[in-house]
Amino acid sequence: MKLIEVKDYQEMSQVAADYLLSKVKESDKLTLGLATGGTPQGLYEALINDHNKNRTSYQHVSSFNLDEYIGLSGKHPNSYYHYMNDHLFKHIDIDSENTHIPSGKAVDLEKECEAYDEKIRLHGGIDLQILGIGSNGHIGFNEPGTPFESNTHIVELAESTREANARYFDSIDEVPAQAITMGISSIMKSKEILLLVSGEAKQVAMKKLVEGEISENFPASILNRHEHVTVIADQEALAMVKGLELLNR
Ligand code: GLP
């Protein structure tokens, strides 16, 4: 795991954008894995700024999002489908046919899960996966206890995750209880992973990721077994980490 230590959220977002843009520019065909939440918003803003200024094209780029709430249609303002259009897709020239988000409204959700992994496989896998981390170590919506072998599946959201995400809804009662998420195994098949971590709320998670053991009780810990992970973390997120030398190994 390689660490890039940055000053703050803004620098994290810009460094991540520069990294992603270098891949967009050097590839003829690129499949991105994309995340939602507060963490990647600054990255997406930086990509939009670049697109407006430099006209970087995404015509050759496909994307697969990590997750979606079950029960919310794409029109719902809190669906991740809506988030992605609003925060990125409608501002750049990516072909909407090439953007993929699991459907939380599929009639047969099990089939939707299987079809999603198959679609990723047919695309030749994910070249670069962007990840955030939940304060309980979740990646995508893979909550503690999720088997490391899991493919795309349906999850019951942890109460702490619903509470953390309630800030986007009118009340916690409106936060869906379930989601569909790429599994740990689906994520680990990505050729490369960029994990973004910012702020005080992620200090404990950051410490466990670097210093803790690899365990299904802390899903992100599996990233220590991936061969090509870069963590971009800001000073606040790193404040509790003693063994910074454990990174960059
Ligand atoms: C959400 C998403 C994750 C995200 C995480 C952290 O529930 N499903 O993909 O990485 O929680 O969110 P945030 O970036 O808002 O802290």
pLDDT at 15: 98
Residue of 157, 165, 206 to mutate, ligand 1, most atoms within 8 A of C-beta: 165
Ligand 1 pocket residue status of 112, Cβ below 6 Å: no
67 part of the active site: yes
User: With 90 as the cut, is the pLDDT of residue 248 above it?
Assistant: no
Share of the chain above pLDDT 90, in %: 96
Q: How many CA atoms lie within 13 A of 149 on its CB side?
A: 0
For ligand 1, what atom is nearest to the CA of residue 39?
14
Give the Å distance between the CA of 67 and the centre of ligand 1: 10
pTM score:
0.96
Give the Å distance between the CA of 159 and the centre of ligand 1: 14
Report strand pairing: 99-100 vs 192-197: unpaired
Edge-to-edge strand ranges of the sheet holding 178-181: 67-69, 178-181, 153-156
85 part of the active site: no
> pLDDT digit string (tens) for 13-65?
999 999 999 999 999 999 999 999 999 999 999 999 999 999 999 999 999 99
> pLDDT digit string (tens) for 164-185?
999 999 999 999 999 999 999 9
Ligand 1 pocket residue status of 161, Cβ below 6 Å: yes
- If one counts every other C-beta atom within 10 angstroms of the C-beta of residue 9, the result is 18
Tell me which residue has its CA closest to atom 6 in ligand 1. Answer: 134
- If one counts every other C-beta atom within 10 angstroms of the C-beta of residue 24, the result is 19
143 part of the active site: yes
